[in-house]
Structure formats: structure tokens, C-alpha cells
Amino acid sequence: MIIKGLIFDVNGTVTDIETNEWHDEIYRILSNVLLYQGISLSEQEVRDLYNRLLKSQREAGGEQYPEFNATGIFREMIDLHATEFTRNLPAAKLEQLPLFLAETFRAASLFRLKRYRGVTDTIKELHQQYQLAALSDGQTAWAVPELRAAGLLDYFTPVIVSGDHGFRKPDQRLFAMTLEVMQLRPEEVLFVGNDMYRDVFGAQQFGLKTVFFQSNQGRQKYEGTAPDYIIYTFPELLNAVRFFTDQPASQFCLSATKADNPQII
């Protein structure tokens, strides 16, 4: 197999992240921020409206694997409840307000963001020889700043995020558009992910070889699905690449011993 590129899932694969979208503090903060934009909604009203608009977005798209757009949710929230004060805000501020609210939502829900052990060195080494892309279920308003904060953004081209398209993995269109930008064929690319359904099953359906990173997140099993290679620590990915490029068996370890939970570098 001639490998020319690797596509990486993000959350649970290169970044160890913990969020809690149900935390009461999120909606108290959003209620307060909206107050300063001329919109008076209680904490509970913000929570209920956010969840209603999220559900409506997903249903309206008619997709098999629907995704939402957080910035769009807050744009609609503003449109529904804007006051004269809101409409008289500076045009530039009003234009950026939905994005700012989406960022605020994520910031308030974020409890942990760090790289898994060995990610930086491994990615740097791979980047010297292969095209690297990121394909994430989520929001660009969140994924791009989080990759930058983890020091990884500059290694990935492109960064494809499901929230920009209305559907999520395992939808085949996401894999197709990533490969189209990379200008590579499925047989030239490895997909690295931590979720047996969205990542492994999805990628294999598109004809990609898969490396499953058994991290502390993601679905560990999906009936009828087996990855082409399993790693338990991120640096083992280098062995996986050697395996797929037909290197001698002594240079890789297909059955690695499970390591302790990955830690920050």
C-alpha cells in the first residue's frame, strides 16, 4: 500500500476533551451576555430555546446523520428576540454576535482540553512525509480554536467540520470532500479515529484503511466492524503506518500492550 495521506478525527483522537452541555452555569452565562445585547431571557428560557432550535435544525435538514450549526442557532435566537436596542447595536458587532455566543457556549461548557501523550511528536514526524487532514464532527467555531490551542492546527489541511454541512460521520460525503481537497484516492489514505461507528465503520464504507485509537472516549464496539489496526497510545501510530507500507514485521507491533490512560505531553 502506498500511503500519501492520513485523515484524523479530532476529539478523542488527537485532543482529550471534556465538555458538559447540560451544566446550568452555561445558560446563566448566556442569559447574562444576552442581557447586555438588549435581550432578556431567563436561564431556563435560554436552555429551552437552544434545545428547541437545535432539534428543529436537525429535523429540517432531513439527513440520515443530522448535524446542527451552533452559530445558526444563536443567529435565530437573536432574530426571534431582538429588541430595538439589539437592532441598534453597531453593525459589525451584530454581525459577529451569533459566533461570539457560540464561542461563549463552548467556553462555558469546556472542562478539559489537552493533547494525548505523544501526539505532537507523532504528528510532527508524520507531517514531514504525508498530507494530514482533520475531519471532525462538531462546529468550526469550536474545532478550529481548539486545534490552535492544542498547537496542532497548522499540521492539518484541510480541516473539515460537520457543522458546516448539516450532516456528520459516518456520512460518506464528509470523507469524499476531505479526499477531494487532499486530491488523493481512498487507497492512498489512512483514517485515524477513536469511534468504532462514526470513524471506523464510516471510513471503511468509503474504502479507507482504518487505525482505531482506543482512547478514553468514543464507541469501542460496533457490530460487524473491525479496524485494520488498533493502537493504545498515540505514538504507536508510527508502527501502524509502517505496517500499511509493507515494512518488515520487526519494525512494527500489531498487537501492542494496552498502556495506561493517555496523559498530556
pLDDT at 248 over 60: no
Answer yes or no: is pLDDT of 259 > 60: no
3-state SS of the chain?
CCCCEEEECCECCCEEEEECCCCHHHHHHHHHHHHCCCCCCCHHHHHHHHHHHHHHHHHHHCCCCECCCHHHHHHHHHHHHCCHHHHCCCHHHHHHHHHHHHHHHHHHHEEEEEECCCHHHHHHHHHCCCEEEEEECCCHHHHHHHHHHCCCHHHCCCEEEHHHCCECCCCHHHHHHHHHHHCCCHHHEEEEECCHHHHHHHHHHCCCEEEEECCCCCCCCCCCCCCCEEECCHHHHHHHHHHHCCCCHHHCCCCCCCCCCCCCC
pLDDT at 247: 52
d(CA 201, CA 83) in angstroms, rounded, equals 47
Would you state the cell numbers that stand for residue 137, as one nine-digit string? Answer: 464532527
pLDDT of residue 252: 37
Interval 50-72: pLDDT, tens:
999 999 999 998 999 999 999 99
Is omega for the bond preceding 66 within 30 degrees of 0, making it cis? no
Q: How many of the other CB atoms lie within 10 Å of CB of 109? A: 17
pTM of the model as a whole: 0.90
d(CA 157, CA 8): 11
pLDDT, tens only, 17-55: 999 999 999 999 999 999 999 999 999 999 999 999 999
User: pLDDT band at 254, cuts 50/70/90?
Assistant: very low
pLDDT in tens, 121-180: 999 999 999 999 999 999 999 999 999 999 999 999 999 999 999 999 999 999 999 999
**What are the respective helix, strand and coil percentages of the chain, to the nearest 5?**
50, 15, 35
CATH architecture of the domain with range 5-17+112-251 = 3-Layer(aba) Sandwich (3.40)
**What is d(CA 138, CA 228) in angstroms, rounded to the nearest whole number?**
25
Mean pLDDT of the chain: 92
Average pLDDT over residues 97-124: 97
Give the model confidence (pLDDT) of 173-228 as tens digits: 999 999 999 999 999 999 999 999 999 999 999 999 999 999 999 999 999 999 99
